[in-house]
C-alpha cells in the first residue's frame, strides 16, 4: 500500500471494522438506554455490550488469520509485499503486534462485562447502562494506541481511553471515596498526558515529523546535535507512560483510585489501561529509542537502563508496600505495580546478547496477567457483594461458604505469586530466563527476591480462606455470568501453565519484529 496516500478510502475503512463495530454499538446503546423505561433492567445493555465486544473480537481474529496466511515478504524490487496493513501514511497499522494486543483488550473487556452482570450493586454503579456503553469507546482508545504508527493517532487514542475512564472511575457520584478517587485520577491522568505531550513536542521539534518511522530517520540524522533534547524527550515520555502503567515511583494514585472505583472499572484499569500504555511504550522503544545512540552519547542504552531501573523500582515498591495492606482492592493495586515491573523488563533488555523473543515473553505474561487479575477481581466482587466490604477478612472461611469459588481463587493466587502450574509461573519464568540470557543478572536477582516477598501477602489470602473462622456463616452466592468469567479465567490460567511451550512457540513463529513492530517510511 502506498504510504503517501493520505485519504481513507472505503476499502481502507473496511480494515477498521473492529473499531467501527464498537463505535456503532456505543451509539446504539446510548440511544437504547435513553429510550428504555427506568423499570427495565440495564442488564440488557450489558448483554448487548458483550455482543458488540465479541463481534469486534471475531473480526480481529479473522484479520489476524489473514495476516498469518499472507506474511510479509520482500519482492525483487525491494518492496514489501503482504504483511502489515498501513493506513493514512502509516499512522495507523494493522499488524500482528496490534492484532494480538487487541484480542487481549477485547477479551479482557468482555470478561469484565461478564463479571459485572449480576454482581454489581446499584450503590456501586448507579447507572449501569452508562457503565456498559462507556467501556466501548474506552477499549477503542486502547486499540488505537496499539495500532498507532504516528504520535497524533497515539495521543488521540490515549485521550479517548483516559477521558472515558475518568468518567467510569467517578460513577458513584454520592460516594465521597469515589469522588476522591476520580479527582486524583483526573489530576494524575492530566499530568501524565501533559508529560507525554511535552516529550512528543521535543521529538517533533528535533525531527519535524510525527510518524514514528520518520522520527527514527530524523533521530539517526540529528541525534548528535540534539542529544540533550532527546534525553529530555525520552524521560518525559517514560514518566508520562509510567503513570499510566502505575509503575513506581509513578504509582501513588493507584491504591486510592482502585479502592474508590467500582470493582469492574478497577479491573479495566488494571488490565486494559495498563496494557495499552505498555503497547505504546513498545512502539516507541522499538521504533524510536533504539536508533538514538550516537558515538559520544549512548542515548538508547541509557534509556533501556532507565526502563530496567523503573521495572526494579516497581517490583520492589509494589511487593513491599503490599505487605501491610488489608484492603483487597488496594492489595491488588500494589500487586499490579509489582507485575508492571515484570512487564517492563522485556522492553529494557531489548536485543542484548542473543535474546530476541521480547514480545512473545511480554505477551504471554500479559495474557496470564489479564486472566489472573480479572479472575481475582471477579472473586473480590462476589465476596464484596456478600460481605458488604472489600477488606481481607471478608475472605475468612470462604472455602466453607463457597468451596468452588475458593478453589478458583487459589489458582489466581498461585498465578499472581508465580507458582506452578499456572500461566503466571511460566510468564515470569520466561521473562526471567530472557533477562538471564541477556546477562542482566541484577534484574534477575530483583525479580527472584520480590517474587519471594510477594508470597507473604498472596498466601495471606489463602490463610483467610482456609484457616480463619467466617465472620458470617451465610453462603456466598455467585451469579452465573460471574461464575462463567471466574472459571474461564481459571481454566485458561491452568492451561497456560500446562502448555506454555506451544503458545510461546506460536507467537515466536508468527510475530516478526521487523515487519510487525518497526514503522518505516516508504517500506
Could you identify the residue written with the cell 462485562?
113
Q: Is the dihedral of CA 247, 253, 255, 258 positive or negative?
A: negative
* Pairing mode, strands 80-81 and 92-94: unpaired
- Running DSSP on this structure, what letter comes out for residue 499? S
Residue matched to cell numbers 506460536: 506
pLDDT at site 129? 81
Query: Distance (Å, rounded) from C-alpha 248 to C-alpha 53?
Result: 32
- Confidence band (pLDDT; 50, 70, 90) for 79? very low
Cell numbers 464498537: residue: 22
Instruction: Give pLDDT, residue 88.
Output: 79
Between CA 117 and CA 482 the distance in angstroms is 7
DSSP letter string, 152-219: HHHHHHHHHHHHHHHHHHT--TT-HHHHHHHHHHHHHHHHHHHHHHHHHHHHHHHHS--BHHHHHHHH
What is the pLDDT confidence band of residue 473, given thresholds at 50, 70 and 90?
low
Helix (H) or strand (E) holding 92: strand 92-94
Residues 253 and 162 sit within 8 Å (Cβ to Cβ): no
C-alpha cell at 218: 530524523
User: Is residue 139 pLDDT above 70, yes or no?
Assistant: yes
Question: How far apart (Å, rounded) are the C-alpha atoms in residues 449 and 432?
Answer: 12
Instruction: Return the number of other C-beta atoms located less than 10 Å from residue 133's C-beta.
Output: 26
pLDDT > 90 in the chain, percent: 54
Question: What is the pLDDT confidence band of residue 158, given thresholds at 50, 70 and 90?
Answer: very high
Q: Directed axis angle between helix 403-417 and helix 358-387, to 10°?
A: 150
Peptide bond into 71 cis (omega under 30): no
Residue 202, CB-side half-sphere exposure with 13 Å CA sphere:
19
pLDDT at 245 over 80: yes
- Give me the residue spans of the domains in the chain: 10-517
**How does pLDDT run across 9-57, given as a tens digit for each residue?**
767 778 899 999 999 999 999 998 888 877 776 778 889 999 999 999 9
CB 362 within 8 A of CB 278: yes
Contact 73, 80 (CB under 8 A): yes
Is the distance from CB of 342 to CB of 296 less than 8 angstroms? Answer: no
Phi-psi region of 89 (alpha: psi -120 to 50; beta: other; left: phi over 0): left
Phi/psi for 317 (5° steps) reads: -65, -45
Mean pLDDT of the 508-516 span: 75
81, pLDDT greater than 50: no
Decide: 64 and 96 in contact? Cβ < 8 Å.
Answer: yes
- 401-452: pLDDT as tens digits: 888 999 999 999 999 999 988 999 999 999 999 999 888 899 999 999 999 9
Q: What is the per-residue pLDDT for 101?
A: 94
pLDDT band at 74 (very low <50, low <70, confident <90, very high): very low
Instruction: Fill in the DSSP letter of residue 273.
Output: I
pTM of the model: 0.92
pLDDT recorded at residue 518 = 65
- Cα(374)–Cα(39) distance, rounded to whole angstroms? 30
Cβ-contact 80, 5 below 8 angstroms: no
What pLDDT does 239 receive? 95
Q: Does 522 score more than 50 pLDDT? A: no
Q: What is the pLDDT of residue 3?
A: 40
Cβ neighbours for 305, distance < 8 A, ≥ 6 positions apart: 348
Mean pLDDT, the chain, integer: 87
Helical (H) or strand (E) element with 113: helix 96-116
Q: Which residues pair with 297 in a beta bridge?
A: 294
Amino acid at each position: 500500500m502506498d504510504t503517501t496516500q493520505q485519504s481513507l478510502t472505503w476499502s481502507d475503512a473496511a480494515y477498521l471494522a473492529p473499531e467501527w463495530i464498537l463505535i456503532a454499538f456505543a451509539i446504539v446503546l446510548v440511544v437504547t438506554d435513553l429510550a428504555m423505561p427506568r423499570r427495565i433492567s440495564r442488564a440488557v445493555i450489558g448483554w448487548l455490550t458483550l455482543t458488540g465486544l465479541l463481534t469486534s473480537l471475531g473480526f480481529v481474529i479473522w484479520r489476524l488469520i489473514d495476516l498469518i496466511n499472507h506474511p510479509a515478504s520482500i519482492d525483487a524490487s525491494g518492496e514489501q509485499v503482504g504483511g502489515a496493513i498501513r493506513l493514512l501514511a502509516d499512522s495507523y497499522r494493522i499488524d500482528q503486534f496490534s492484532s494480538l494486543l487487541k484480542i487481549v483488550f477485547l477479551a479482557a473487556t468482555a470478561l469484565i462485562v461478564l463479571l459485572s452482570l449480576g454482581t454489581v450493586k446499584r450503590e456501586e454503579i448507579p447507572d449501569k447502562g452508562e457503565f456498559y456503553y462507556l467501556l466501548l469507546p474506552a477499549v477503542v482508545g486502547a486499540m488505537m494506541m496499539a495500532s498507532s504508527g504516528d504520535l497524533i493517532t497515539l495521543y488521540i487514542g490515549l485521550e479517548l481511553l483516559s477521558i472515558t475512564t475518568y468518567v467510569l472511575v467517578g460513577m458513584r457520584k454520592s460516594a465521597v471515596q469515589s469522588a476522591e478517587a476520580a479527582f486524583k485520577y483526573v489530576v494524575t491522568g492530566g499530568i501524565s498526558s501533559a508529560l507525554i505531550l511535552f516529550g512528543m513536542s521535543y521529538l517533533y521539534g528535533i525531527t519535524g515529523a510525527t510518524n514514528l518511522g520518520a522520527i527514527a530517520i530524523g533521530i539517526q540524522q540529528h541525534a548528535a546535535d540534539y542529544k540533550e533534547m532527546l534525553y529530555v524527550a525520552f524521560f518525559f515520555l517514560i514518566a508520562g507512560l509510567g503513570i499510566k502503567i502505575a509503575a513506581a515511583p509513578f504509582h501513588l494514585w493507584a491504591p486510592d483510585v482502585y479502592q474508590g472505583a467500582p470493582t469492574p472499572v478497577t479491573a479495566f484499569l488494571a488490565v486494559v489501561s495498563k496494557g495499552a500504555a505498555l503497547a505504546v511504550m513498545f512502539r516507541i522503544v522499538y521504533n524510536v529509542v533504539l536508533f538514538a545512540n550516537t558515538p559520544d552519547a549512548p542515548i538508547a542504552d541509557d534509556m533501556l537502563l532507565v526502563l530496567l531501573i523503573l521495572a526494579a523500582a516497581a517490583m520492589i515498591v509494589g511487593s513491599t508496600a503490599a505487605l501491610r495492606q488489608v484492603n483487597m482492592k488496594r492489595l491488588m493495586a500494589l500487586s499490579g505495580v509489582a507485575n508492571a515491573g515484570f512487564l517492563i523488563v522485556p522492553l529494557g533488555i531489548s536485543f542484548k546478547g542473543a535474546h530476541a523473543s521480547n514480545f512473545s515473553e511480554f505477551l504471554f505474561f500479559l495474557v496470564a496477567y489479564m486472566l489472573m487479575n480479572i479472575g481475582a477481581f471477579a472473586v473480590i466482587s462476589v465476596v464484596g457483594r456478600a460481605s458488604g466490604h472489600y477488606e481481607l477478612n471478608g475472605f475468612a472461611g470462604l472455602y466453607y461458604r463457597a468451596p468452588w469459588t475458593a478453589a478458583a481463587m487459589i489458582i489466581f493466587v498461585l498465578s499472581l505469586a508465580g507458582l506452578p502450574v499456572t500461566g503466571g509461573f511460566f510468564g515470569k519464568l520466561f521473562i526471567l530466563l530472557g533477562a538471564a540470557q541477556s546477562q542482566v543478572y541484577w534484574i534477575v536477582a530483583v525479580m527472584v527476591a520480590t517474587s519471594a516477598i510477594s508470597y507473604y501477602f498472596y498466601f495471606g489470602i489463602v490463610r483467610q480462606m482456609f484457616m480463619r473462622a467466617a465472620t458470617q456463616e451465610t453462603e456466598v452466592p455467585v451469579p452465573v455470568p460471574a461464575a462463567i468469567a471466574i472459571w474461564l479465567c481459571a481454566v485458561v490460567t491452568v492451561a497456560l501453565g500446562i502448555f506454555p511451550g506451544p503458545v510461546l512457540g506460536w507467537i515466536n513463529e508468527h510475530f516478526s519484529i521487523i515487519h510487525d513492530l518497526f514503522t518505516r517510511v516508504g517500506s
